[in-house]
Structure formats: structure tokens, C-alpha cells
Chain A
Amino acid sequence: MRNPPAWTAPDPTGPGHWLLRARVFEADDLKRAITRIAHEIVERNHGAEDIVLVGLYTRGVAVAERLAEAITSFEDVDVPVGRLDVSFYRDDIATRRVSPLGPTQLPGDVKDSVVVLCDDVLFTGRTVRAAMDAVVDFGRPRAVQLAVLVDRGHRELPIRADYVGKNLPTKWDEDVRVHLVPIDEDDGIEIWECIEETEGEK
């Protein structure tokens, strides 16, 4: 089952319109997932001392901040949180220009830390690959791990998440939307599908 030749997903602003197919997480479900992931991170790394949570703009930053809060609540350790904009590391510059989403700020240098990249949705894996390139430009971490709220399949690179909130098999032309306060009005995870009126993009 091959992906369509040009792997740009249907444009949410393009022809055709989007309909909500299912709401798979409510606020409570999300909270539990965060708590569980926070515990898993601490368990896997035998404590919270060398961990740096690096959120990928935009919602990944909110994920990192909530994970940090959760870890602090049961480990009593302040986990540093960084923010990473991977726009300039993307490998698809030729097909789309993504405007930078925010200033990259990493706490200190990441040498010898365990960097846990945090994002809302893991899809093709290209964002995470770009993030790894970016992190390595800042220093040499001891390890890089990946925490995501949703893994929706359709990987195009050999990337996997260490910590997953929910595994959600989806169709290629669906859209998974994670809502997080304060970026969005509420907390939740939804699947949307596109009813295209004209032929899809090339």
C-alpha cells in the first residue's frame, strides 16, 4: 500500500471541506496520558536528574511544559524545558516553506543530558528527524528520546517514539488534531476527514 507520490497531505485550507469523524480523547484522558508518560520517562531514565524536555513548536511546547509540571509534582525535581523550531532543518524546503514558529531556546547546553523531544502528533517522522539534527547542532546529548501524545502511523523514516499517549491508526488523508489549552479552547484529540470536491493535489 503505497503513499501517494507527492506526500503532501490534503491542504486543510484547500478545496474540499473537513468533517469531524471522531473525538478520541477528552480532557481527562489527556491528563491521564500525560501523567503516565511522565512516570515512564522517569522510570526509564532511573530518575529525573539529567532530563531536558524539548518541545517542538507549536503544541509540542505545551506537551513538554505539562510533562515537566507532572514530573515535578511527583519527583520534586525541576525539569528544564526547551523550545525548538525545526523550520530551518526540514528536508522539504523545496516543496513548502514553513515560516518559523517561535524562537528556539534550549536551557544551557545539552551535553550529556537526556533530551526528550516532545510533540503532539508523530506522523511521517520528518519533523523528528529535523529536530534531531537541530539538537545535535547545540551539543552532544547522552541520549535522545521521543515522547508524543499520538502516534498515527504512516512513517516515512525509521523513527519511533519511546513514549506514546495513544496509538491511533489513521487513513493517509485524515487529520489528527490535538487541542491543548491555552493554544486551543479546550483539551482533546480529534480525527477529521476531508471530503474533497475536486481532485486532490498532485
Chain B
Amino acid sequence: MKHLLGIDDLGADGIGEVLRLADSFLEVTRRDIPKVPALRGKTVVSMFYEDSTRTRLSFETAAKRLSADTMTFSAGSSSLRKGESLLDTVRTVEAMGIDAIVVRHRSSGVPQRIAGWIDASIVNAGDGWHEHPTQALLDAFTLRRHRGDSFAGMKVSIVGDVKHSRVARSNVRAFSALGADVTLVGPPTLMPPDLEGWPVTVSYDLDEVLPTTDVLYVLRIQRERQEEALFPSLREYANRYGITVERMSRLPADALVMHPGPTNRGVEIDALVADDPRSVINEQVANGVAVRMAVLYMLLADSKEGRAA
């Protein structure tokens, strides 16, 4: 496998392989010397056209733990100024002799385009509204550590601004590939315009869905969306779709609560919910490095199998 542009690049088998690799890498990250020489001599470049310190650091840590060399271009830096075209920038970077680019961009499809222009492996760290595959993988990894390998029959409710969410699109693909039943919950204005063919059910009523939810996945609400008349006010959104302490009491006792972070306290989720024992939000963050190590290893270590000697 050369690129990770979206969850469909992996399929259920590929997802399983990433998660198994991530198990091993999680152990590595817990050692005193959390480093293995697996990708020594490889260079991994982060190109973050959209600011995201957390995700960028997570990828860079993953690369370093594999002993790869890293380079960073981030939104503020001069090399990503608007004047130079995307094509010219990636060709210049490639000319420096690199093995992989981890790219985040506000426009959907950019990683796919870049993959068509240069030889290096491309990892999508988030493109527009389209996908954020490593987020979905670390979410699946977190869930698996609580619920085991099979997600068959697991009821996952993804709540929030699905329309603009690359995390939601990747999660729908990943969770349904692993056998879960996915329900999208939110106001009609925050659902994608046409859900034909999506392996999901849709509900506009969070309270109706809560009692049968095994995994509650809460998406961020961006304050700017209010200005597009997608909902009347943040207050109304929080009333109808916010995960309050009261709603948590109606969620089954053995359910799990997840969030891709960072949370908007008091909007989509109450501050106290993060302390609820059912919340695995902090684990998601911790698992990010191991999962990204697994992805980088899968892409940059050659896939020809041989006999161990």
C-alpha cells in the first residue's frame, strides 16, 4: 500500500492490520526508550497548510519514534505562502529526497492530487470536509481495546456537524467496514445534502437515540457555523444536541463517549462529561501516536514478505 488517502484505501482487512501493528507500537511508546529503528534513513515531511499543533506533533512523534527523520512546513511558515503553487511546493519538497508527506489542507482532495504528482507516499492528515483517516483509525483502535476485535452489532451514534466533518466521513467508513451500525444525529442543516448509499441511519432526535447507543461519538461544533444560518444559536444547538450531564445519565452505563478533540466545553459537550468514567477521550489522544506509527510503518516498510532468518 503506497498511500493513505482515505479509509477505503484500507478496507476491513487493512484496518485490522493497522490496529494489530498499533498494538505493538503502543508497547514501544511505553518503554523507557520509546524508539525502534524501523524507519531509519527515511524522511517524513509534514505539510500542514491548516494549523493543527496536536495532529502535527502526533505525526512527528510517530515518525521520530520509528527513527525516521522529519521536516515540517506549517501554515505560518514562509514556504507555504500563497504565492507558490501547491504543485511547485510539493515538487520542490520531493526534490529534497523524501519518502513520505503527511499533509493537511483545508481543501478536499489535496492529498489525492499530490499523490498523482509525485512519487512519495502520501498520508492524509485531514483534507477539507473529506477524510481524516488516522483519526478514524485511532478511534477504532481505542474502541477495540475496550470492546474487542468485532464491532458487529455495535451501535455507534455520531452526533453533530456531520456535513462539514472529515472525521465523521472517515468514521462512517471505518466503523461500518468493521461491522458497526452507525447512526448520524444532528439537525437537518448539518447533515450532508444527499445520504443515498451511505451505510447509516439518520436521526434528528438525540434523546431518542441515546438509550440504545453503545458508543456516543461527539463532533465539534464550530462557532462560525452559526453565521451561516445552519442553526439559530449555539445555545439552541447545545439544548437540542449537546451532551449534558443529564443526557449522560440516560446513556447506558456501559456505553463509551468519544470526541476527536479539542472539545468546545459547554457547546457540544459539558465540561464534566470528560470526567465521566465512560469517556475515553483522553485515551484517544494517547493512542494517536501508536496508530500513526503503524500507518507510517505500513506505508514505508516494503511489503514483500520473506522468510525470517
Contacts and interface: CB of A to CB of B under 8 A. Distances in A.
A–B touch (CB < 8 A): the answer is yes
Contact of B39 (A13, A93, A98, A126): A93
A99 B21 contact: yes
B37 A97 contact: no
A96 B37 contact: no
Interface in A97-156: 97-100, 103-104, 109, 123-124, 126-127, 133-134, 137-139
Q: Chain A interface mostly helix, strand, loop or mixed? A: loop
**Residue of A97, A126, A127 with most chain B CB atoms under a 10 A cut-off:** A97
Interface stretch (B76-84, B110-118, B299-307): B299-307
A138 B32 contact: yes
B21 A100 contact: yes
A8 interface: yes
Contacts of B302: 93-97
8 contacts: A87-B38, A93-B38, A93-B301, A97-B305, A103-B24, A133-B37, A137-B35, A137-B36
A11 B38 contact: no
A12 B307 contact: yes
State the main secondary structure of chain B at its contact with A: loop
Interface of A: 7-9, 11-13, 85, 87-90, 92-100, 103-104, 109, 123-124, 126-127, 133-134, 137-139, 175
B229 interface: no
Which 3 pairs of residues, A with B, have the shortest CB-CB distance? A88-B36, A96-B306, A100-B24
B308 to A, nearest CB: 6
Contacts of B17: 99
Given A7-B309, A88-B24, A94-B302, 13 more contacts: A8-B306, A12-B307, A87-B24, A87-B38, A88-B297, A89-B36, A92-B306, A93-B302, A97-B302, A104-B24, A126-B309, A127-B309, A139-B32
Interface string B17-43: 100110110011001110111110000
Contacts of B24: 85, 87-88, 100, 103-104
- For A88, A90, A95, A99, the residue with the greatest tally of chain B CB atoms inside 10 Å of its CB is A88
Interface string B282-309: 0000000000000001000111111111
A12 B302 CA distance: 19
Contacts of B308: 98, 127
Interface of B: 17, 20-21, 23-24, 27-28, 31-33, 35-39, 66, 297, 301-309
Contacts of B307: 8-9, 11-12, 175
Nearest to B24: A100
B21 A138 contact: no
B306 A95 contact: yes
Contact of B304 (A90, A96, A134, A137): A96
Contacts of B38: 87-90, 93
B306 A11 contact: yes
B66 to A, nearest CB: 8
Nearest to B66: A88
Nearest to B300: A93
A102 B23 CA distance: 9
Contact of B31 (A85, A93, A137): A137
Contacts of A104: 24, 27-28
Nearest to B301: A97
Nearest to B306: A96
Contacts of A7: 309
A146 to B, nearest CB: 15
Nearest to A91: B37
A103 B309 contact: no
Contacts of A12: 307
A100 B20 contact: yes
Contacts of A133: 37
A109 B32 CA distance: 10
Contacts of A95: 302, 304, 306
A13 to B, nearest CB: 8
A95 B20 CA distance: 21
Contacts of B35: 137
A130 B121 CA distance: 26
Contact of A88 (B20, B37, B303): B37
A116 to B, nearest CB: 20
A13 B306 CA distance: 9
A88 B309 CA distance: 14
A137 B308 CA distance: 22
Nearest to A106: B31
Contacts of A87: 24, 38
